[in-house]
Amino acid sequence: MVFQIEDIHKSFGKKQVLKGIDFSAQSGQAFGLLGRNGAGKTTTIRIIMNVFPADSGSVLLDGAPFSKSGLQIGYLPEEHGLYPKIKVREQLIYLAELRGVSGKKAKQSIDYWVARLGMQEYANRKLDTLSKGNQQKIQLVAALMADPAMVILDEPFSGLDPVNAALLKDVVKELIEKGKIVLFSSHQMSYVEEFCDAIAILHEGKIALSGSIQQIKRSYDRRTLVVRSLQPGPLLDFANGTLGGYLQSAEMRKNQVFLHMKEENCKAQVIEILAKEGPEIDSVAVYEPSLNDIFVQTAGDDNETKGGEAV
């Protein structure tokens, strides 16, 4: 299955929130929708969830117009909440029935997921007696219980301790293995990097950058070498001295020396000289920007985006 968003526009009153959003996600793949607060992530998700229609553009599944009734979507909203005064299991059954899962099947599925996330002892408690992390897990059960073909997780890791985060990681990996489409929205780039094959960075209602993470990283120039050594000081001196002819600049960050070369094709020579004449080194690698760096570069301009997240 290919899930595709094409040229979505959406305005609220005079405020244009989405100005032409395109991306596509595939079965068995996790797709990361990134963006700063107010960039339009939640609006995009709500259009997918058919909370409100887009002004123009289309949502397609395998090329055909997508309707929510044709496909179960599991949704974990960022602003999560359920009925605080009602027992967990009771409200999960209610939600499952609303989504068209029959009573018996709903119960089985809820019991499975509750057990999978280690929440058995909380199933018959009122929701407001649970901790924030446990409420988050209940919310996750709600997203997964209808066996959705597509799962939208909006900030799924917020509020989870490392143990629960690991559990959630397993679950997400399992979903990907089972061939679900996983749409992932997060500010925590490390998680995105870990799961997602492709990303789209939204900035001020537009896609600022999209594609597979690997390709995006490759698209950055490869003229910088990162050299690790136990003696970074002498290494930096050596770089500025002997290697000076090849380099634009050299700098030390966190005990690593970054060598910015004048041209890409002199990598081999620089490495050779380093190995033969330089101080002892542990490793040399071509620098690839982290997703975090890419995100900050793409979405981190000085123009504060205004307006609330939930519109």
Cβ neighbours for 41, distance < 8 A, ≥ 6 positions apart: 33, 34, 35, 154, 185, 202
CB of 132 to another protein, least distance (A): 13
Q: In whole angstroms, give the CA distance from residue 127 to residue 112.
A: 19
Question: What is the token pair recorded at 107?
Answer: 């119960």
Instruction: For another protein, give the closer residue by CB, 13 or 63.
Output: 13
Instruction: For another protein, give the closer residue by CB, 101 or 216.
Output: 101
DSSP classification of residue 186? -
Reference 82, options 95, 100, 65, 63; nearest CA is 95
Instruction: For another protein, give the closer residue by CB, 12 or 280.
Output: 12
CB of 23 to another protein, least distance (A): 20
202, 34 in Cβ contact below 8 A? yes
Task: Give me the amino acid identity at 211.
Answer: G
CB of 303 to another protein, least distance (A): 22
Question: What is the token pair recorded at 10?
Answer: 């959406």
Q: In whole angstroms, give the CA distance from residue 285 to residue 20.
A: 38
Instruction: For another protein, give the closer residue by CB, 100 or 244.
Output: 100
Instruction: For another protein, give the closer residue by CB, 148 or 232.
Output: 148
Residues engaged in binding another protein (CB under 8 A):
13, 46, 49-52, 73, 75, 77, 79-84, 86, 94-95, 97-100, 139, 142, 308, 310-311
CB of 158 to another protein, least distance (A): 14
CB of 77 to another protein, least distance (A): 4
